[in-house]
Amino acid sequence: MLDLERLRALHSVATYGSVSAAADVLHVTTSAVSQQLAKLERETGQKLLERNGRGVRLTDAAELLVAHAERILSLVERAQADLEAHRGSVVGQITVAAFPTAVRGLMPAALRELRTDHPELRVMVREEDPMQSMPLVVRGDFDMAVVQDWNNEPLPLPDGLHKGVICEDVADVALPADHPLAGRDAIDLKELAGDPWISSSPDSICCDWLRRTLRAVDSEPRIEHMVYEFASQLALVAAGFGNVILPRLGRCDVPPGVAIVPLADPLSRRVYAVWREEAARRPAIRAVVTALRAAAPAGETGDRADDRTGDRVGDRVGVPVRVPARS
């Protein structure tokens, strides 16, 4: 009989490339992972790992076993979800990865509601860029991710994931107060061609999106400063060092010396929760999605379809979708 935890250890080594990386993900020591693998080798009568320089590589037998382990672990997760759904109780633990402004603008209120309504549910949150968080959900490191896409650049959804709309988040332009266009009721991005810009780190989804958005209006981006936190970006705007595209969700206090101007052709991002198909029936998934929607800014309600499958997201998670109005 194959031991599930030993299969999980082998699968983690295959996924993350080393015993030490697998130990980090599984929150155990490298010695514990090595012991599990040694027991699995005795259990199967097959050599599973071979030395490869300073690391290890999987044998053909291990590769075969990993393919089965993926299906077995997926079935176990589906069984656990079905049992939770049958019981109907929101209990246990759920891990959520979320991008920074969702952590600031949604998670505190959502966590308060979950603690009040479902005291037996433990929610653990970690801040992650959407490009990193979705692979973490696919691999099973996290149960859910809160991610974003923009109205001019839809989010590709990996196979095996479902998503539910949380809210829509409009963005404005933050300009130095002495900028020639700072007093306008609305401006077009084309009018800012040639201006310096401030964005987040070069490998982030936000920086990539800003470059493509500016190029789409024939404005070659001059991103002169790369700072992750919006508060720091706004401090640079106030000092006159560039402009920032500033979403409204989780917006920090705007310092003196900064003018916030709406865009004539609005840019908005949609905020989603994503989770694995195997976990779709978990009451905890539905509870977290419900709490996130309740934490979003109030606005009009309406159903949204899952962009990949065409299924009604509201039906999938058991609650209606609330989409705040543009303003």
The structural domains of the chain, with segments of one domain joined by +, span 4-85, 88-168+269-317, 169-267
pLDDT on residue 304 = 42
Element (H, E) at 1: none
Distance CA 25, CA 62 (A): 19
pLDDT on residue 319 = 34
CA-CA-CA-CA torsion for 243, 245, 247, 248, nearest 10 degrees? 40
- Is 240 within 8 Å of 176 (Cβ atoms)? yes
Backbone angle region of 149, left / alpha / beta, with phi > 0 → left and psi within -120 to 50 → alpha? beta
Domain 88-168+269-317 has CATH 1.10.10.10: no
Q: Is the dihedral of CA 300, 301, 303, 307 positive or negative?
A: positive
pLDDT on residue 321 = 31
DSSP 271-284: EEEEEEGGGTT-HH
- Is 48 within 8 Å of 61 (Cβ atoms)? yes
What is the number of H-type helices and E-type strands within the chain? 11, 11
pLDDT on residue 85 = 58
CATH of domain 169-267: 3.40.190.10
CB neighbour list of residue 161: distance below 8 Å, 6 or more residues apart: 134, 137, 138, 274, 275, 276, 277
Indicate the DSSP class of residue 191: G
pTM to 2 decimal places = 0.66
Q: pLDDT tens digits, the chain, 327 residues: what are they?
A: 677 778 778 787 887 778 888 787 776 788 888 888 888 888 888 788 877 767 778 888 888 887 887 777 667 666 666 666 556 678 888 999 999 889 999 999 999 999 999 999 999 999 988 878 888 888 788 999 999 888 777 777 887 888 999 999 999 999 999 999 999 999 999 999 889 999 887 777 777 788 888 888 888 888 888 888 888 999 999 999 999 998 999 888 899 999 999 999 988 889 999 998 888 888 899 999 999 999 998 743 333 434 333 333 333 343 333 333 333
Of 257, 285, 16, the C-alpha closest to 136 is 16
pLDDT on residue 307 = 38
Distance CA 225, CA 238 (A): 14
pLDDT on residue 198 = 92
CATH of domain 4-85: 1.10.10.10
pLDDT on residue 84 = 63
The beta strands (E) that lie in the chain are given as 49-52, 55-58, 92-98, 121-127, 144-150, 161-176, 196-199, 222-226, 244-247, 258-261, 267-276
**Same fold for the pair 4-85 and 169-267:** no
